[in-house]
Amino acid sequence: MPDHAPASSTTEKSHQALIVRSSPELDQLLASLFQREKWQIRFAPHNLEALQLAKDSLFDLIITGERTPGKEDIELLRRLRMVRPHTRLIILTEEFIPGDVLAAIRERAFSYFSRPFSTEKIAEMIRIAMTEPFWDDGIEVLSATPNWVRLCVRCDLATANRLLQFYREASDLPDAETEEVATAFREILVNAMEHGGNFDPSQHVEVSYVRTKRMVLCRVKDPGQGFSLEELQHSAIANPEEDPFKHMETREAQGKRPGGFGILMATKLVDDLIYNEKGNEVLLVKYLDKVGRASMS
């Protein structure tokens, strides 16, 4: 019988993780992360054994081994969904294969990492998986080709961070440009989730990613009423040159959290930042000097 969605880690129930073996160093790192949070751990030598263990017992999180191809891990996820539809699975793989990232999103993988990967980012994603109470419908593929992807993304911060990791894996840009686009995109995405969706998990932001030979374009549309840039006195983009922190006074007076630099930061990292008339839709454009392969594949 299908299991119920895993409860938040704030409950008293004992949490269990299943890890498909990788290198001894990576296995030790993963084990230490779970032991620190007092999770129970099981290891499986390969995906077939992992599937059988998952059929026999409910695991709150499964992490695949880096030695298996991403396609095999995605197939494991498909088969797992038939008996454990809400289990969170993070894919680790040695090699990026075009098409795997989108396939992983479609099959509702919690996250995806290919080598060379950052152990810090893996640890961060595991912590999100340990604590995030909602996730199943967080990222939905509306349509997708290798050069144009449309997604529906739930308005919460953990989902934004998950989406950014999928983007980093799929991007074919040089590392520096990938991070510039990722940082600008995250600022605009979180801004849309906060001000357009009020971080309400029942609300969603529509995201598009377009990759051409000469540019990368990100479109973010939030469910809010929109705004005018001239009205954003709480944002750093409205500051006069002689007073670059004036917006902080406005934010404090309005009871807002410290910040307000997101839009200004985004304008420095991409070439064009264009809002629609209503103010609830924005385009980020990054022009490229070199021709590359299709990105979100």
The answer, yes or no, to whether residue 221 has pLDDT greater than 80, is yes
Q: What is the mean pLDDT of the chain?
A: 85
The tens digit of pLDDT for each residue in 121-172 reads 999 999 999 888 766 779 999 999 989 999 999 999 999 999 999 999 999 9
How far apart are the C-alpha atoms of 161 and 182, rounded to whole Å? Answer: 10
Q: Please check whether residues 157 and 295 belong to one and the same domain.
A: yes
CA 225 to chain CA centroid, Å, is 25
Q: Which domain holds residue 246?
A: 137-297
Task: Judge if 271 and 143 occupy the same domain.
Answer: yes
> Same domain for 156 and 277?
yes
Total domains, the chain: 2
Output the domain CATH number for residue 207.
3.30.565.10
Q: Given 109, 134, 159, which residue is the final one in a domain? A: 134
Per-residue pLDDT tens for 21-47? 999 999 999 999 999 989 999 999 999
Please say which residue of 134, 149, 184 terminates a domain: 134
| Torsion angle of the four alpha carbons 66, 67, 72, 78, in this order, in degrees rounded to the nearest 10 | -30
Could you say which of 111, 134, 157 is where a domain stops?
134
Asked if 92 and 193 sit in the same domain, the reply is no
Residue with tokens 């910040």, as numbered in its chain: 259
102 plus 157 within the same structural domain: no
Q: Are residues 130 and 142 in the same domain?
A: no
Q: Which helix (H) or strand (E) holds 265?
A: helix 262-269
pLDDT at 274 over 80: yes
**Are the beta carbons of 79 and 54 closer than 8 angstroms?**
no
Do residues 112 and 161 share a domain?
no
Looking at the fold, whether 11 and 142 belong to one and the same domain comes out as no
Examine the domain organization and report whether 207 and 231 are in the same domain: yes
Cβ(206)–Cβ(164) below 8 Å: no
Compute the average pLDDT of residues 78-101.
92
My answer on whether 87 and 123 are in the same domain is yes
- Is the model's pLDDT at 258 over the cut of 90? no
The reply to whether 50 and 126 lie within a common domain is: yes
State yes or no: pLDDT of 236 exceeds 60: no
- Is there a single domain that holds both residue 291 and residue 266? yes
Question: Do β-strands 40-44 and 16-20 pair in parallel, antiparallel, or remain unpaired?
Answer: parallel
- Kindly report the CATH number assigned to the domain that includes residue 55: 3.40.50.2300
